[in-house]
Amino acid sequence: MTLRTTTRDELAAYLAQTLNVAQYRDYCPNGLQVEGRSEIGLIVSGVTASQALLDAAVDLKADAVLVHHGYFWRGEDARVIGMKHKRLKTLLANDINLFAYHLPLDAHLTLGNNAQLARIIGLEGSSRFGDEQLGWLGHVSTSTGMQTVADLAQAIAQRLGRTPLLIGDGNVPLRQVAWCTGAAQGMLGDAIAAGASVYISGEISEPTVHLAREAGVAYIAAGHHATERYGVQALAAQLVERFGIEHHFIDIDNPV
Protein backbone atom coordinates (compact mmCIF):
# COMPACT_ATOMS: atom_id res chain seq x y z
CA MET A 1 0.00 0.00 0.00
CA THR A 2 1.38 3.38 -0.94
CA LEU A 3 0.72 6.01 1.65
CA ARG A 4 -1.22 8.97 0.48
CA THR A 5 -2.52 12.14 1.99
CA THR A 6 -5.97 13.64 2.13
CA THR A 7 -7.22 17.00 3.28
CA ARG A 8 -8.77 18.07 6.54
CA ASP A 9 -11.97 19.11 4.76
CA GLU A 10 -12.28 15.90 2.79
CA LEU A 11 -11.78 13.87 5.94
CA ALA A 12 -14.34 15.94 7.89
CA ALA A 13 -16.92 15.56 5.12
CA TYR A 14 -16.37 11.82 4.82
CA LEU A 15 -16.63 11.29 8.58
CA ALA A 16 -19.78 13.43 8.86
CA GLN A 17 -21.45 11.41 6.15
CA THR A 18 -20.23 8.00 7.31
CA LEU A 19 -21.38 8.58 10.88
CA ASN A 20 -24.64 10.42 10.03
CA VAL A 21 -23.52 13.18 12.35
CA ALA A 22 -26.39 15.54 11.51
CA GLN A 23 -29.03 13.17 12.86
CA TYR A 24 -27.81 13.31 16.51
CA ARG A 25 -28.61 15.70 19.34
CA ASP A 26 -25.46 15.42 21.40
CA TYR A 27 -23.89 17.29 24.30
CA CYS A 28 -20.66 18.03 22.47
CA PRO A 29 -19.79 19.09 18.92
CA ASN A 30 -19.16 16.11 16.62
CA GLY A 31 -16.57 16.58 13.89
CA LEU A 32 -13.56 18.86 13.63
CA GLN A 33 -13.19 20.36 17.12
CA VAL A 34 -9.74 21.95 16.75
CA GLU A 35 -8.38 22.98 13.37
CA GLY A 36 -4.83 22.08 12.36
CA ARG A 37 -2.92 21.74 9.10
CA SER A 38 -4.88 21.15 5.92
CA GLU A 39 -2.99 18.12 4.64
CA ILE A 40 -3.39 14.82 6.49
CA GLY A 41 -1.22 11.75 6.01
CA LEU A 42 -0.99 10.30 9.51
CA ILE A 43 -3.68 10.00 12.15
CA VAL A 44 -3.51 8.87 15.74
CA SER A 45 -6.67 7.50 17.33
CA GLY A 46 -7.60 6.90 20.94
CA VAL A 47 -10.60 6.78 23.25
CA THR A 48 -10.06 10.18 24.90
CA ALA A 49 -8.13 13.27 23.81
CA SER A 50 -6.13 13.33 27.03
CA GLN A 51 -2.76 15.07 27.32
CA ALA A 52 -1.00 11.68 27.16
CA LEU A 53 -2.67 10.89 23.82
CA LEU A 54 -1.79 14.33 22.45
CA ASP A 55 1.84 13.96 23.56
CA ALA A 56 2.00 10.61 21.75
CA ALA A 57 0.51 12.24 18.63
CA VAL A 58 3.17 14.97 18.75
CA ASP A 59 5.93 12.35 19.09
CA LEU A 60 4.60 10.53 16.03
CA LYS A 61 4.26 13.80 14.09
CA ALA A 62 0.56 13.09 13.53
CA ASP A 63 -1.52 15.43 11.40
CA ALA A 64 -4.77 14.59 13.15
CA VAL A 65 -6.09 12.97 16.31
CA LEU A 66 -9.35 11.01 16.12
CA VAL A 67 -11.20 10.26 19.35
CA HIS A 68 -14.52 9.25 20.90
CA HIS A 69 -14.22 11.66 23.84
CA GLY A 70 -13.20 15.12 22.66
CA TYR A 71 -13.77 18.52 24.24
CA PHE A 72 -16.37 21.28 24.73
CA TRP A 73 -18.99 19.28 26.67
CA ARG A 74 -22.25 21.04 27.46
CA GLY A 75 -22.09 22.67 30.87
CA GLU A 76 -18.31 22.60 31.22
CA ASP A 77 -16.30 25.67 32.23
CA ALA A 78 -15.74 27.58 28.97
CA ARG A 79 -12.48 29.22 30.08
CA VAL A 80 -9.24 28.17 28.42
CA ILE A 81 -7.22 27.63 31.58
CA GLY A 82 -5.43 24.79 33.31
CA MET A 83 -5.82 21.35 31.74
CA LYS A 84 -7.86 22.68 28.83
CA HIS A 85 -5.25 25.36 28.06
CA LYS A 86 -2.43 22.81 28.00
CA ARG A 87 -4.33 20.44 25.74
CA LEU A 88 -5.38 23.13 23.26
CA LYS A 89 -1.90 24.66 23.29
CA THR A 90 -0.41 21.27 22.43
CA LEU A 91 -2.75 20.87 19.45
CA LEU A 92 -2.43 24.44 18.19
CA ALA A 93 1.34 24.73 18.65
CA ASN A 94 1.81 21.52 16.66
CA ASP A 95 -0.86 22.31 14.05
CA ILE A 96 -2.68 19.02 14.78
CA ASN A 97 -6.38 18.59 13.94
CA LEU A 98 -8.73 17.11 16.51
CA PHE A 99 -11.71 15.14 15.24
CA ALA A 100 -14.16 13.84 17.87
CA TYR A 101 -17.31 11.72 17.50
CA HIS A 102 -19.42 10.91 20.54
CA LEU A 103 -22.95 9.51 20.11
CA PRO A 104 -22.54 8.96 16.33
CA LEU A 105 -19.61 6.66 17.11
CA ASP A 106 -21.51 4.80 19.84
CA ALA A 107 -24.46 4.17 17.59
CA HIS A 108 -23.11 3.35 14.12
CA LEU A 109 -24.47 -0.04 13.08
CA THR A 110 -21.15 -1.54 11.98
CA LEU A 111 -18.33 0.79 13.08
CA GLY A 112 -19.84 1.97 16.37
CA ASN A 113 -18.75 1.08 19.88
CA ASN A 114 -21.78 -1.13 20.50
CA ALA A 115 -21.42 -3.00 17.21
CA GLN A 116 -17.69 -3.47 17.77
CA LEU A 117 -18.08 -4.55 21.40
CA ALA A 118 -20.53 -7.21 20.20
CA ARG A 119 -17.99 -8.42 17.66
CA ILE A 120 -15.23 -8.59 20.29
CA ILE A 121 -17.31 -10.43 22.92
CA GLY A 122 -19.38 -12.63 20.59
CA LEU A 123 -22.84 -11.05 20.78
CA GLU A 124 -25.46 -10.79 18.07
CA GLY A 125 -27.83 -7.85 18.13
CA SER A 126 -31.44 -8.20 17.04
CA SER A 127 -33.01 -4.90 18.15
CA ARG A 128 -32.19 -1.62 19.83
CA PHE A 129 -33.71 0.39 22.68
CA GLY A 130 -33.41 3.55 24.77
CA ASP A 131 -32.32 7.12 24.04
CA GLU A 132 -31.31 7.58 20.39
CA GLN A 133 -31.72 3.78 20.10
CA LEU A 134 -28.24 3.47 21.61
CA GLY A 135 -28.87 0.24 23.53
CA TRP A 136 -28.59 -3.12 21.79
CA LEU A 137 -30.58 -6.25 22.62
CA GLY A 138 -29.67 -9.71 21.39
CA HIS A 139 -27.96 -12.89 22.50
CA VAL A 140 -24.56 -14.52 22.67
CA SER A 141 -23.45 -16.21 19.45
CA THR A 142 -23.98 -19.96 19.78
CA SER A 143 -20.47 -20.57 18.43
CA THR A 144 -19.00 -19.00 21.60
CA GLY A 145 -20.31 -21.88 23.76
CA MET A 146 -21.26 -19.50 26.57
CA GLN A 147 -24.06 -20.90 28.75
CA THR A 148 -24.28 -18.80 31.89
CA VAL A 149 -23.90 -15.22 33.05
CA ALA A 150 -20.56 -16.24 34.61
CA ASP A 151 -19.36 -17.54 31.22
CA LEU A 152 -20.21 -14.17 29.72
CA ALA A 153 -18.37 -12.28 32.47
CA GLN A 154 -15.35 -14.52 31.96
CA ALA A 155 -15.37 -13.98 28.20
CA ILE A 156 -15.52 -10.22 28.77
CA ALA A 157 -12.54 -10.41 31.13
CA GLN A 158 -10.53 -12.30 28.51
CA ARG A 159 -11.47 -10.28 25.46
CA LEU A 160 -11.25 -6.83 27.08
CA GLY A 161 -8.27 -7.62 29.29
CA ARG A 162 -10.07 -6.27 32.34
CA THR A 163 -12.04 -8.09 35.04
CA PRO A 164 -15.63 -6.79 35.02
CA LEU A 165 -17.80 -6.25 38.08
CA LEU A 166 -20.72 -8.70 38.02
CA ILE A 167 -23.86 -7.93 40.02
CA GLY A 168 -26.19 -10.91 40.20
CA ASP A 169 -26.10 -14.69 40.03
CA GLY A 170 -23.44 -16.06 37.68
CA ASN A 171 -25.13 -19.47 37.50
CA VAL A 172 -28.20 -18.15 35.69
CA PRO A 173 -28.46 -19.42 32.07
CA LEU A 174 -28.05 -16.73 29.41
CA ARG A 175 -31.19 -15.50 27.70
CA GLN A 176 -31.64 -12.03 26.23
CA VAL A 177 -28.49 -9.92 26.59
CA ALA A 178 -28.48 -6.12 26.36
CA TRP A 179 -25.47 -3.85 26.08
CA CYS A 180 -24.50 -0.22 25.74
CA THR A 181 -20.90 0.96 26.08
CA GLY A 182 -19.57 3.74 28.31
CA ALA A 183 -21.53 5.38 31.11
CA ALA A 184 -24.90 3.85 30.19
CA GLN A 185 -25.77 2.46 33.62
CA GLY A 186 -28.77 4.82 33.55
CA MET A 187 -30.26 2.72 30.75
CA LEU A 188 -30.57 -0.39 32.94
CA GLY A 189 -34.29 0.30 33.38
CA ASP A 190 -34.74 0.52 29.62
CA ALA A 191 -32.78 -2.72 29.18
CA ILE A 192 -35.05 -4.48 31.68
CA ALA A 193 -38.16 -3.09 29.95
CA ALA A 194 -36.77 -4.34 26.63
CA GLY A 195 -36.59 -7.88 28.08
CA ALA A 196 -32.92 -8.27 29.00
CA SER A 197 -31.89 -10.78 31.65
CA VAL A 198 -28.35 -9.41 31.68
CA TYR A 199 -27.14 -5.92 30.82
CA ILE A 200 -23.55 -4.97 30.02
CA SER A 201 -22.32 -1.40 30.22
CA GLY A 202 -19.08 0.36 31.10
CA GLU A 203 -19.66 2.13 34.39
CA ILE A 204 -21.80 1.46 37.44
CA SER A 205 -23.41 3.68 40.09
CA GLU A 206 -24.62 2.84 43.57
CA PRO A 207 -28.33 2.70 42.59
CA THR A 208 -27.52 0.38 39.67
CA VAL A 209 -26.89 -2.45 42.14
CA HIS A 210 -30.29 -2.09 43.80
CA LEU A 211 -32.19 -1.93 40.53
CA ALA A 212 -30.39 -5.00 39.17
CA ARG A 213 -30.97 -6.99 42.37
CA GLU A 214 -34.60 -6.03 42.77
CA ALA A 215 -35.39 -6.71 39.10
CA GLY A 216 -33.56 -10.06 39.21
CA VAL A 217 -31.36 -8.99 36.30
CA ALA A 218 -27.59 -9.38 36.11
CA TYR A 219 -25.47 -6.26 35.56
CA ILE A 220 -21.94 -6.36 34.20
CA ALA A 221 -19.79 -3.23 34.53
CA ALA A 222 -17.09 -3.93 31.96
CA GLY A 223 -15.31 -0.55 32.05
CA HIS A 224 -16.10 2.71 30.28
CA HIS A 225 -12.73 2.88 28.57
CA ALA A 226 -12.49 -0.87 27.97
CA THR A 227 -15.88 -1.01 26.22
CA GLU A 228 -15.15 2.04 24.06
CA ARG A 229 -11.76 1.15 22.60
CA TYR A 230 -13.12 -0.49 19.49
CA GLY A 231 -15.35 1.93 17.59
CA VAL A 232 -12.64 4.48 16.95
CA GLN A 233 -10.28 1.74 15.73
CA ALA A 234 -12.86 0.41 13.28
CA LEU A 235 -13.51 3.94 12.05
CA ALA A 236 -9.80 4.67 11.60
CA ALA A 237 -9.33 1.38 9.75
CA GLN A 238 -12.00 2.52 7.32
CA LEU A 239 -10.15 5.82 6.80
CA VAL A 240 -6.96 3.91 6.05
CA GLU A 241 -8.80 1.83 3.48
CA ARG A 242 -10.58 4.81 1.92
CA PHE A 243 -7.74 7.34 1.85
CA GLY A 244 -4.57 5.25 2.11
CA ILE A 245 -3.36 7.30 5.07
CA GLU A 246 -1.34 5.95 8.00
CA HIS A 247 -2.94 5.24 11.38
CA HIS A 248 -1.81 4.37 14.89
CA PHE A 249 -4.25 3.52 17.71
CA ILE A 250 -2.81 4.41 21.08
CA ASP A 251 -4.38 2.86 24.15
CA ILE A 252 -3.87 5.15 27.12
CA ASP A 253 -4.94 2.78 29.88
CA ASN A 254 -7.83 3.82 32.11
CA PRO A 255 -9.12 1.40 34.77
CA VAL A 256 -12.57 3.06 34.84
Contacts with Zn ion by CB under 5 A lie at 182, 228
CB count in 10 Å sphere of residue 212: 23
Cα–Cα distance measured from residue 50 to residue 55, given in angstroms and rounded to the nearest whole number: 9
CB nearer to Zn ion: give 6 or 181. Answer: 181
- Which residues in 35-122 belong to E strands, given as ranges? 39-40, 42-48, 64-69, 97-100
Strand 42-48 versus strand 246-249 pairing type: parallel
CB of 37 to Zn ion, least distance (A): 28
CB nearer to Zn ion: give 70 or 182. Answer: 182
Of 194, 254, 204, nearest to 229 (Cα)?
Answer: 254
CB of 134 to Zn ion, least distance (A): 11
Decide: 138 and 126 in contact? Cβ < 8 Å.
yes
Cα–Cα distance measured from residue 203 to residue 182, given in angstroms and rounded to the nearest whole number: 6
CB nearer to Zn ion: give 107 or 140. Answer: 107
CB of 68 to Zn ion, least distance (A): 6
CB of 225 to Zn ion, least distance (A): 8
Closest residue to Zn ion, based on beta-carbon distance: 182
CB nearer to Zn ion: give 134 or 146. Answer: 134
